A = this chain, B = another copy of it.
């Protein structure tokens, strides 16, 4: 099956969680907005589908995925759909719901990381909410990140199935790829904080390293398809927020 991903062309953002799954599985997909405008790409293509009254199932925001006649939005929902089709989700319902629960918790963390630099409004520049961001960052560093990452560390510790630890059962799922992305993004955005926290997160650190060398992913991460982290996306490096 051929997939078309619609997401902002210049950032990793939420779309990256979908890109990682598609790339790891070697799926046949096109990242529509990264095509040239002359080939039907660019942000114009993204906005056309977002606003199209005839889209049937319009998305509130990118990313969204076209698969055959289906148009599917919400990052975690896209992965719920793709997981079994890409061999990145377990077979039985209970384990699939658990994988999805992990992904939804990752998306909650992503929202908190976004609001770190935008505590007042997404429509304002960071520079216009810098003081509030600084105040929020102390709570994120001291309370929220240790709580979230500690919870994923616990999930890894309690799952002893398989030769190599992953979040669910004995095989890698899209949730593992997403936790890899969280670790990579936080190391970019908050390097000092992560160095402090990682001593208590040996299993998360180990997972990050193992996912990064999966053949398809290693190829992707070294390719120009992997957009570098930058201060337009979710994971932004503002040293004053890193404590």
Contacts and interface: CB of A to CB of B under 8 A. Distances in A.
A230 interface: no
A67 to B, nearest CB: 10
Interface of A: 53, 56-60, 70, 72-74, 76-77, 80-81, 94, 97-98, 100-101, 104-105, 108, 111, 115, 119-121, 123-124, 132, 135-136, 139, 143, 148, 151, 154-155, 158
A60 B98 CA distance: 12
A206 to B, nearest CB: 20
Total copies of this chain within the assembly: 2
A68 to B, nearest CB: 9
Contacts of A139: 120-121, 123-124
Report which residue of A59, A81, A101, A143 has the largest number of chain B beta carbons within 10 angstroms of its beta carbon. A101
Contacts of A120: 119, 132, 135-136, 139
A119 B148 CA distance: 18
